[in-house]
Amino acid sequence: MTSGGELIIEALKVFGVERVFCVPGESYLPVLDALYDSGIATTVCRQEGGAAMMAEAWGKDSGLPGICLVTRGPGATNASAGVHIAAQDSTPMILFVGQIASTRRHREAFQELDYQQFFGGMAKWVAEIDSADRVLEMVSRAWHVATSGRPGPVVLVLPEDTLTDTAEQRLLSPWQQTESYPGEVVVESFAAMLAAARQPLAILGGSRWSAEAVGQFTRFAERYQLPVACSFRRQNLFDHSHPNYAGDIGLGCNPALLQRVRDTDVLLLLGGRLPEVPSQDYTLIDIPEPGQQFVHVYPEAEELGKTYKPTLAIQASPVAFCAALESLSPASEPGWSGTVVTAHEQYLDWSSLRHTLPAAHTMREIMQHLMDSVPRDTIICNGAGNYTGWIHRYWPFRSYGSQLAATSGSMGYGLPAAIAGKLAHPQRMVLAFAGDGCFQMTQQEFGTAVQAGAAVIVLVVDNSMYGTIRMHQEMHFPGRVSATDLVNPDFAALARSYGAFAATVNDASEFPAALADAVSATGNGQGLPALIHIKTNADALTPTLSMASLASGSD
């Protein structure tokens, strides 16, 4: 007979779990004990929100559920930040939560919480495993729910008595992805629509992608000379140096690209949902009837027609749809072939660093140096804030799997995501961008990076304020600064206190040496993490918008 705690870990091993992220708690001690000699790596985090973000980033990178273990009550509520990201970003994830003994329910026992009520609006499924003999069944179901259709988070609640009780060990077969393939008729219908198009455009987004699928779609775009855009924080789905790339549709979007979306007669949305940010507050295309012929490819039927009524709805994952595209080729030279050249030229002009403020010279020169010096497959991670504009608009993503960013706009995400990315890819450079406010949401996880040997390089962009909120404050309540100033620590000193390398950059001329020293100190990715504290001009609210211009009313 095997305990419930041991059965949890046995199930995870069968499904190929290599690593879990946790903050320990007495409510799930049998699971922690089962991890001891399981062969599954355990990353001990400092706060449950950071642990859940790491699990989410692991799931985003791998396509398999990221696993997070937290204790009951406060541990679960802290972890909800990562669950919300997984929900909005369509990321497979399983959160295991300790629970009071089932014999004590409904008495408001110590840290008791109704998890169905708390997580019900965020998770795809929330369930409590009520006996040890149902552990394998419930973990298997959780894995399939998290990965099938539109991926997302699942919460499994573990009562203390379930973990200590025993049950017979039964065989559990390895998991296989539940796939949804497009039919020949809808693929042919899409090809016919494309053949009759005058100015088509593709937008790539969402999850359920792979490097192979990205390659297949790239070849399809080449054959059809199709302009391709990426949705918000999904920019690693298409090589930005490719002549078919038209730019990203998100915050601070290129007006020429937005007009291109409005003018297109056949719009393919593959894998994404076109929610608030990429749709420019739901104004970019008409709801519910788009003015264009709208082809929506998505792995879950419930999303098709939910906001935008498709001309052609195709229930398929990006992986399956891109495989089907391999059989399509245009019968003749597409009539729109000249538009792809214009679209890419517009992207190149918009993303040029010459379009930045004089006051933003420090970050402009830093970004140029990074573009010139770091490897092509560097993984770029970020949370939320105006500093992310330097990434969204200017960074040239070159390969699949090179971006870990939360479409949910969660602050504090960059550092935990970078830790997960580095643990998954120890040979690759991982850069975590974070504003000073963003970094302080999860800065305690720098200790996790040190302990786990995750040799990330953290770039803290410091303007001593919550810059995005200050920008809106200056726009709507000029001259009335409220709750947006920050008194910050010496971030470099904080990093050094962990024994890590750190440097402070007051001017762009200091950055190349600081980066070189950081790369050396991290042992080419095999040592401790490093942190570079970049002090910037508070006047540069964004790469292209200054505080002074708002105060004078010139913008």
Please give the full DSSP string across 56-112, using - where no structure is assigned.
HHHHHHHSS-EEEEE-STHHHHHHHHHHHHHHHTT--EEEEEEE--GGGTTS--TT-
| Distance in angstroms (rounded) separating the CA atoms of residues 473 and 150 | 37
- The whole-model pTM stands at 0.96
| Distance in angstroms (rounded) separating the CA atoms of residues 139 and 8 | 7
Q: Grade residue 526 by pLDDT with cuts at 50, 70 and 90.
A: low
Burial of residue 505 (CB within 10 Å: 0-12, 13-18, 19+) is buried
- CA 389 vs CA 224, 299, 314, 345, 468: distances in Å: 31, 30, 33, 20, 11
Among the residue ranges 244-248, 249-253, 439-443, 483-487, the one predicted with the least confidence is 483-487
Instruction: Tell whether the torsion through CA atoms of 73, 75, 80 and 86 is positive or negative.
Output: negative
pLDDT higher than 80, residue 464: yes
Span 300-353, pLDDT tens digits? 999 999 999 999 999 999 999 999 999 999 988 888 888 999 999 999 999 999
Contact 389, 447 (CB under 8 A): no
Helix (H) or strand (E) holding 502, with range, is: strand 501-505
Among the residue ranges 182-191, 401-410, 465-474, the one predicted with the least confidence is 465-474
Alpha-helical runs (H) found in 105-234: 115-119, 135-147, 160-164, 184-195, 211-224
- Phi first, then psi, for residue 295 (nearest 5°) are -105, 115
Which residues belong to CATH 3.40.50.970 in the chain?
A: 2-167, 358-552
Give the pLDDT confidence score for residue 465 in this predicted structure: 83
Q: Grade residue 81 by pLDDT with cuts at 50, 70 and 90.
A: very high
Give the pLDDT confidence score for residue 553 in this predicted structure: 64
Class assignment of domain 2-167?
A: alpha beta
Span 3-18, pLDDT tens digits? 999 999 999 999 999 9
Prior bond of 288 cis (ω within 30°): yes
Give the pLDDT confidence score for residue 107 in this predicted structure: 77
Give the pLDDT confidence score for residue 219 in this predicted structure: 98
| Distance in angstroms (rounded) separating the CA atoms of residues 87 and 91 | 7
Strands lying side by side in the sheet with 312-315: 245-249, 228-231, 200-204, 266-270, 293-298, 312-315
* Cβ within 8 Å of residue 351, ≥6 positions away: 240, 247, 393, 394, 396
pLDDT higher than 70, residue 164: yes
Q: Which has the closest alpha carbon to 42: 50, 32, 52?
A: 32
Q: Which two tokens stand for residue 343?
A: 């679209």
| Distance in angstroms (rounded) separating the CA atoms of residues 244 and 555 | 33
Average pLDDT, the chain: 94
**DSSP 8-state code for residue 173:** P
> Check: CATH 1.20.1530.20 for 358-552?
no
Average pLDDT over residues 227-254: 97
Give the pLDDT confidence score for residue 524 in this predicted structure: 60
Q: What CATH number does the domain located at 184-350 have?
A: 3.40.50.1220
To 5 degrees, how large is the angle CA 4–CA 20–CA 419?
Answer: 165
- Sequence letter at residue 282: Y
Instruction: Tell whether the torsion through CA atoms of 27, 32, 34 and 35 is positive or negative.
Output: positive
- Phi first, then psi, for residue 168 (nearest 5°) are -75, 135
Average pLDDT over residues 522-528: 74
Give the pLDDT confidence score for residue 130 in this predicted structure: 93
Give the pLDDT confidence score for residue 554 in this predicted structure: 55
Which residues belong to CATH 3.40.50.1220 in the chain?
A: 184-350
**DSSP 8-state code for residue 483:** S
- Phi first, then psi, for residue 266 (nearest 5°) are -130, 115
CA atoms within 13 A on the CB side of 107: 8
| Distance in angstroms (rounded) separating the CA atoms of residues 455 and 449 | 7
